[in-house]
Structures are given as structure tokens and as C-alpha cells.
Structure 1
Amino acid sequence: MSATNIFVNVATADLERAKAFYTALGYGINPLFSDENAACIVVDENVYFMVLTREYFGTFTDKQVVDPATHAQVLTALSADSREEVDRIVEAGIAAGGSEPRPATDLGFMYSRDLEDPDGNILEFLHMVPEAVDQGPDAYLAEHPEAAPTTGA
């Protein structure tokens, strides 16, 4: 079976602002699939964000296009190689006009931070300990109780 490409389509009120935001995260733009209505953001060789003007996004559905600043339609999670990489990406996104709507989550086996783009589309960046991926979180935490999250008082 060949690799599957994933195209995540998101609406934007300001295409130029969105392009600046996503390139600040370290992603490229494929000019062959970008114009005044859309930008093809290259996350990696198999994952792309199609950032579409709200009007153009509306031509792909008969449903109401919601405002991502007030309604969550999808949470897109992307893995990172380390906790530091998660932090770097989120900090770059905040510096480029995004926002962090909630505190970081540290489950011991997984660390994640949410980032909203300037339109309010939600991206989650996470790093999971490779052993937890292989074993599952319960088995990993059973073998590594020191990694279990603690609750503060």
C-alpha cells in the first residue's frame, strides 16, 4: 500500500496573515497549489494544510462555514520529536500572532500544547515517549511510575 497524503483544509479571514503564521512554524508553501484563494502549506511530504479564504472554503460544502474563533470544528494534532520541539513550535506560533488557549498538558508519557492560529483554528503539538507508543500508556506508566503525572495541591 502506498503512503497516504493528508490534506487538512482550514478557513481563514486573511490569507496573507495565515501564510505568515504557518511559515513561522517552519512549514513551506507549495506555490503550484497556491493562489489568491488558497495556500498549500507543506507540513511534510505527506501532510498539507490547505488554508482557504472563507469564501473559497464555502464552495466545497453546502454546510455553514463556522467561525473558528468561536466554534471548534476539528482539533488537528501533530507529533513532534521532543518536548523542546513542541515548545519551540508553539512559541514561534505565539510570536507570529497565534495564541495558546490552555496550559500545557503533561501526562508523563505525553506532553502537549495547544496553539490557535490567528483565525482560531486549533493545532495541538505533542510528543509521546516512544516506549509508550509501543507499549501503550498504562503499561509504560506501570514500568515507569516516576513518569506518572502528579496533581498539585
Structure 2
Amino acid sequence: MSKQIYLNLPVADLPKSIAFFKALGFADNPQFSSDAGACVVISDTIFVMLCTRDRFRDFTPKAICDTSVAVEMLINLHCDSREEVDRLVARALAAGGSSYDQPEDLGFMYSHSFVDPDGHGWGLFHMSAAPAQG
């Protein structure tokens, strides 16, 4: 059976976050969306649930991380090519995201990253071969 992943992320401005991910080329699924959250379709098996902070609090008794001063997690997404990595980072920057690093080429793997408007870190990478065994 194929597993699906639903990442739940708190967002400060739901319409702004939806627009950001649409600018990256991802679709939304209105079947799982409401005024309190939106389902962003990354792939057939990966979905991001953008939740208003009030809705997110319904899922956990813990405080929501202040991403301006702390990292809650890093999300890594495999891309089909180096060009897709570069294209997604460029779209993220154009849509209001930021980046704190430069692309890294390790030969077998190419990576770059962006931070979405709510401070969630997204690492994008393309593996062209297995790393050398040493």
C-alpha cells in the first residue's frame, strides 16, 4: 500500500500562504480546504496542510514555534532535476520567500533551499547517482 504524507504547518496569513505555494506551481485540493486551512498538493503522495494558527492549536497543546528565532523542522523535497531545484527556489524568492544559502553541488547530489513566508525551511535536492562509498 502506498503511504501518503500530510505535513501540517501553522501559517499567519492563510491566503498569502496559499498564493505562495500556488506561485511555486503546486495545486490546492478544495476538498480538504476551508477558511481555517488549505491542502497543497505537492505530489500524489505528499500534501501540505496550511493551517491558521488557531486551527493548528487544535492539534497540539504545545506552543507554536516562533520561526523568526527558532527552527521547528526542515522539510526536504526530492526534485526530478537540478533545473527543477533552481526553478522552485527562483519561484519561491519571486513569491516572497527567502534563502539563506547558495546552491551546493556534491557531484552526486545538487541542493538549494528556501524559506517560505512563515519561516518554514524547505531543502530541495536532486540525486543524480549514489554517493561514493569510502
TM-score (ref. length: structure 1): 0.84
- Amino acid in the other structure paired with 1:43: I
- Amino acid in the other structure paired with 1:121: H
| Separation in structure 2 between the aligned mates of residue 34 and residue 74 of structure 1, nearest angstrom | 23
| Separation in structure 1 between the aligned mates of residue 81 and residue 69 of structure 2, nearest angstrom | 31
- Amino acid in the other structure paired with 2:12: A
| Separation in structure 2 between the aligned mates of residue 105 and residue 70 of structure 1, nearest angstrom | 25
| Separation in structure 1 between the aligned mates of residue 30 and residue 94 of structure 2, nearest angstrom | 24
Structure 2, unaligned stretches of length 5 or more? Answer: none
- Amino acid in the other structure paired with 2:103: A
| Separation in structure 2 between the aligned mates of residue 99 and residue 13 of structure 1, nearest angstrom | 16
Post-superposition shift, 1:69?
2.5
| Separation in structure 2 between the aligned mates of residue 114 and residue 64 of structure 1, nearest angstrom | 26
Measured against aligned partners, the alpha-carbon deviations of 1:25-68 in whole angstroms (never above 9, x if no partner) come to: 11100001111110100001110000111111111001111122
* Counterpart residue number, 1:87: 86
Task: Give SS of 2:132's match.
Answer: helix
The reply to whether residue 100 of structure 1 matches residue 99 of structure 2 is yes
Deviation beyond 2 Å, 4+ runs, structure 1: none
Number of aligned residue pairs: 134
Structure 1 contact 13–54 (Cα < 8 Å) conserved: yes
| Separation in structure 1 between the aligned mates of residue 83 and residue 103 of structure 2, nearest angstrom | 12
Structure 1 contact 37–56 (Cα < 8 Å) conserved: yes
Task: Give SS of 1:34's match.
Answer: strand
Task: Give SS of 2:34's match.
Answer: coil
* Counterpart residue number, 2:132: 138
| Separation in structure 1 between the aligned mates of residue 42 and residue 5 of structure 2, nearest angstrom | 10
Q: Between Structure 1 and Structure 2, which shows a larger proportion of strand residues?
A: 2
| Separation in structure 1 between the aligned mates of residue 58 and residue 69 of structure 2, nearest angstrom | 21
Alignment root-mean-square deviation, CA:
1.1
* Counterpart residue number, 1:123: 122
| Separation in structure 1 between the aligned mates of residue 68 and residue 85 of structure 2, nearest angstrom | 23
TM-score (ref. length: structure 2): 0.95
Which has the higher Rg, Structure 1 or Structure 2?
A: 1
* Counterpart residue number, 1:7: 6
* Counterpart residue number, 1:50: 49
